[in-house]
Every structure is written in structure tokens, then in C-alpha cells.
Amino acid sequence: MNEKVLSMVGIDKRFAGVHALKGVNFDLYPGEVHALIGENGAGKSTMMKILTGIHQKDSGEIYFQGKLFNPKNPKEALSMGIGIIHQELNMMEHLTVAQNIFIGRESMNGIFLDEKALNSRAKKLFERLNMDIDPKEILGNLTVGKQQMVEIAKAVSHDLKVLILDEPSAALTETEINDLFIIMRDLSCKDVAMIYISHRMDEINRITDRVTVLRDGQFVGTRNTSEITKDEIINMMVGRVIYEDPKTKSNVSKDAETILKVENLNAGRMVQNINFELKKGEILGFAGLMGAGRTETARALFGADEKESGRIVINGREVDIKTPMDAVAHGIGYLSEDRKRYGVAVELSVTENSIMASYDDYETGLLINEKRISQITNNFVSKLKVKTPSLTQLLKNLSGGNQQKVVIAKWLIKDTEILIFDEPTRGIDVGAKSEIYHLMNELVNEGKSIIMISSELTEILRMSDRVVVMCEGKITGELDIKDANQEEIMKYATMRN
């Protein structure tokens, strides 16, 4: 290999109550795609924030292109040639593609913006990257995948030497992932080095050259991707073996009572004449491609979006759900796929987030029973193994997986009978996934019923007792888990009526 483009040596970082990085080492070569993986809370994000100037290291050295490097902020890091694509896109959807790419670096004609020159610059950039995107299109009109391509183009326009991609495929379709990998290989040929953060093990083998594993803020090791198996990577990450075998038969008895019945539910183009039943103690998987209408169906059921027509029957009685408060009152909890937007308040504490749906249950006259709230929060934080230095810790300081556990705690404290889990393990590591899977099985064994929406077919096949498949706003198939496989699910997921 050529001389290293980046070297991080003995990086140490502490926050209040947390030793986030403990003497971590990492290096990168020109044109290399280097996977950085570990459980949530392992230190990956902290490490990248130090590299891009968001945080300052406590000790250790960073060498970039052979020189000491200590960026004070992301703008300085970007100007030096290190850019990052965050998991949550940070673009202005009301502006055009070209305006987003060159914001702050616009082409001007006197005091006026030169749109023609701006579009021409963007067109040349897209041609260089083999991207088929119209520079004049409003960004908000593009798919998430195309928006991500625009963000990559924006980063590359700064003449990058290092590009960090943080969970870039989390919201992409398989086709969009393939397009992303083509672009990454092209950048690699141009000697752009990439740090690839992902929890998807199959992608690590497809796109990366080397793998570095962190665990609990410490460097575990670096291996060539071609010389390590998936099981070995997972063992390095979590220090234990995790099994993910598919479920072979339903755990729900045939005479189990129907806890929820949805009839002829309609809510716009993406929710058309939806009919299904949920049994007591069942995990009902909802599968389908991105844009199939699964989340829209869940939101209409939960009262987050207005339904146009249809009946919702809970425990044999028709209910009228117009708002999420109505849904909660009828025993439905909803864990959103976008936890930061709909699931948590990151500026509030673990306790405040955990008790958010249940404050009314802990009122005594005009007072809140703080002692009881603290006790029950502590019980569920312990049960769910939430990694936090204290219950007063702000949620924004926890990893994604631990934030997800706090959202689950919120609905367990509320003791809802029906739980809708929308992409419950998106963006979290295999260790936290396994814990959430075990928790879901415990919940149904205790008599809860779960609707699980997932884009990962392995997750659907591992957890579901039955599988409902959607395509373009309609249910196109329903399978008992003993009859389900990836091919059969995909057949229904692409079946347009």
C-alpha cells in the first residue's frame, strides 16, 4: 500500500461520567475503504467527531497526510480534505440540488446568483461521479437515496482526501445501495480514502478492504476483510457468539384470541383497503420495499395520520382513534422508525423520556410522585440493560441503541397491550439487536402483541409468527412463518395490483 493518508494514535476522550475512548488507534490508506464497526457506545461516533473537529481529543495524536492534524471545527476539517456523510441527512429540501451542493460557494453574476453557472458546475460534478441527477431539481422531490448521492457529491466537490460514511445504507433500497457502492468504488479508484461505518455485516464483505473493531471505547483489532468471517467480526465486537437463526414455526396457538382487527383501512395513496388481524402473544411482521406503505399504515392505526375510512377493533370492541393519545388510551404504543423526530426528546433526561407517556399515572393531586417514577425507571433501565451513567443523563449523550431501549422502556412503563415496532433495530449493532430480539420474545411470552415493521428480511424471518407483505400501499400477501422465505416475501413485495 501507499503511505498512510491518516493515522490516529492513542486517542483518548472523556465526557462527564463516560470514558468514551481509551487509547484508540486507527489508520487509513489512499483509495482504501476501511470499515469501522462496534456496538453502539463503542466509541465510533466519538472518534469520527474528533477527526472532523466536532470534539477535541484529550490526548493522543492525529497525523493527516504526514502532518500533525487537530481540526477545531468541521469547516476546518473539510477545508483540509476530510468530510463526513451523517446517517441523518443535513440538507435544505426547499433548495435545488445545485444550490445545496454549492451553498456558501455560489457562482455570482455581480450581486446576483448565477443559476446557469451553478447548474453547469453541478452537472460537471455529476458527470465525474457518474450520477444521473438533475441539478435544477428541488432536493425535497428526490428519494432518500438520491438525496444521499447529492450529499456525497457535495462532499466530493471539496476535493476530499478522506470521506466518512456513517450508516449510509440505513434508509436505502437494494438498488440504491448498489448505486452507492458503484460510486464508492469509483472514488476509491481516484484515491479517495473512505471510513465506512455500518452495522450490516453483509455490506462489510462487499465493499471494504479492512475492518477495525472497537469495543467499550477500546481498540480490539484491525483485520483484512478477505481474511475474517462474519462470526469472527461479531465475536470481536461483542465478545460472545450471537445466533440469528430464522424461526421455523409460529409460537402462537391456533385458538389464540384476536387482540386487534383492522378492516378496510384507508389513508391516502399509501394505505389502501388494509385488512389484517393481530393475535394475543403474536409478532406480526410487516415486510415490503421502501415506500410500500408499512409506516403509513402504522401511523394511520396509531392516529398520527388521519384515516379516511375503516374500522379498528380492539378486544372485540370497535374504537375510534383520531390521535396518538386515543391510541395510547386504547393500549397501543408506537416505536417510530425515526426515533429522534418522533420517539425521544434528546435534551431531556433518561427518566423524563422513559416516563413521558405515563406522567398522568404518577400524579398525586397536583404533585408528581418522583420517588415512584425514579424506582420504575430504574427497574426498566436495568431490565433493558441501558448503558447510562445515571437516570439524569441527557438522552443525546447516549448511543443510538441505548436511545432505542429508552423508547421501549417508555411503552413498557405505560404497559400498553399492543406494541408497534417500526424498524426497531435500524442503526443499532448486532449486540443491541440481539437484546431487543430477546426482549420482544419476552414481551409476547408475557401476553403482549407486537406489529414489527422491518426492511431486513433476516429480521422478519427470525422474529415473526406471521408475515404481512405490502406493495404500493396494498397488502399483497400473508404468510405463516413456516411457509416464509426471502424469495416468497420478495415475490409479494414486488407484486403490483
pLDDT of residue 243: 53
pLDDT score of 240: 60
pTM beyond 0.85, yes or no:
no
Q: How far is CA 85 from the centre of its chain?
A: 14
Q: Is residue 476 scored above 80 in pLDDT?
A: yes
Q: Given this model, what pLDDT does residue 126 score? A: 86
Mean of all residue pLDDT scores within the chain: 87
In DSSP terms, which residues pair with 67 in a beta bridge?
64
pLDDT at 343: 61
CA distance 450 to 465: 10
DSSP calls for 34-84: EEEE-STTSSHHHHHHHHTTSS--SEEEEEETTEE---SSHHHHHHHTEEE
pLDDT tens digits, 307-336: 999 999 999 999 999 999 999 999 999 988
Q: What pLDDT, on the 0 to 100 scale, is given for residue 17?
A: 67
* Per-residue pLDDT band at 431 (split at 50, 70, 90): confident
**Domains, the chain:** 6-238 (3.40.50.300), 258-493 (3.40.50.300)
Of 77-81, 222-226, 232-236, 241-245, least confident by mean pLDDT is 241-245
125 CB-near residues (< 8 Å, 6+ apart): 101, 153, 156, 157
The grid coordinates of residue 293 equal 406503505
The per-residue pLDDT for range 70-99, each reduced to its tens digit, is: 999 998 998 899 988 876 666 788 889 888
pLDDT above 60: residue 242? no
Q: What is the structure's pLDDT at 56?
A: 94
Q: Got the DSSP string for 351-412?
A: HHHHTTTTGGGGEETTEE-HHHHHHHHHHHHHHTT---S-TTSBGGGS-HHHHHHHHHHHHH
Q: What is the mean pLDDT of residues 36-51?
A: 87
